[in-house]
Amino acid sequence: MWEPRTTAATDAVAAVLGRSRTLLLAALDTPASTTQLATHSGLSAAGVSQHLTALRNAGLVTSHRSGRSVLYARTSVADQLLNP
């Protein structure tokens, strides 16, 4: 489930967005919380939160509340970037 993508498209996206943001986008095949993404990526929860804010502001992820958690999901634009 948390297998990193190793395609040329992912490498190209990483060259623009950076490795950490691309890793987070790739991990969002299913909606996930900041804590889940931090555990998976090895980044701090605060770092993940900052990256997700930038990705949300760029229109690449959306967020919605589910009980006590906020879940993040890729947008169709992000899907097209990762899967041209």
What pLDDT digit, counting tens, does each position of 26-66 carry? Answer: 999 999 999 999 999 999 999 999 999 999 999 999 999 99
Q: Which runs of consecutive H residues, i.e. helices, occur in the chain?
A: 8-17, 19-27, 34-41, 45-57, 76-82
Distance separating alpha carbons of residues 66 and 69, to the nearest angstrom:
5
- Above 80 in pLDDT, residue 68? yes
- For residue 82, what pLDDT band results from cuts at 50, 70 and 90? confident
User: What pLDDT shows up at residue 57?
Assistant: 93
Q: What percent of the chain shows pLDDT beyond 90?
A: 68
